[in-house]
Structure 1
């Protein structure tokens, strides 16, 4: 592996940093809105699933307690 001098390394880092394409303000806002929407939908979905399975477990426990 070839050794790189600190100056050459800094120059390479600057060259690579110059290739970065940052998102526009609109792209950032759209991505943020999509993330908020998706996490809200998933939160509601998992809340529903948790409620459903919680009701099943309560029913099974009450059923088992009635059989004793």
Structure 2
């Protein structure tokens, strides 16, 4: 691995960051909202599955009399 000096490294970092396509504010807000919606949907799904499995286990073990 070739060793580069600190100035060359900083120059390369600057070149690479200039190539990055940064999202717009609108894209960031939409993506954030979609993440929150998906988290809520997954939480609801797992809650329902957990309740169903709990009910079935209680039914099978005879604890739900």
Which band: TM-score by shorter chain? 0.7 to 0.9
Long gaps (5+) in structure 1: 64-68
Long gaps (5+) in structure 2: none
Higher relative contact order (Cα pairs below 8 Å, separated by 6+ residues): 2
| Mapped partners of 1:7, 1:62: distance in 2 | 73
Q: List aligned pairs for 1:20-35, cutoff 5 A.
A: 20-35=20-35
| Mapped partners of 2:14, 2:25: distance in 1 | 24
In the TM superposition, what is the alpha-carbon distance from 1:41 to its structure 2 partner? 1.0
Find runs of 4+ consecutive structure 1 residues off by over 3 angstroms: none
Larger-Rg structure: 1
* RMSD across aligned positions (CA): 1.6
TM-score by length of 1: 0.82
Length, aligned pairs only: 64
| Mapped partners of 1:15, 1:43: distance in 2 | 42
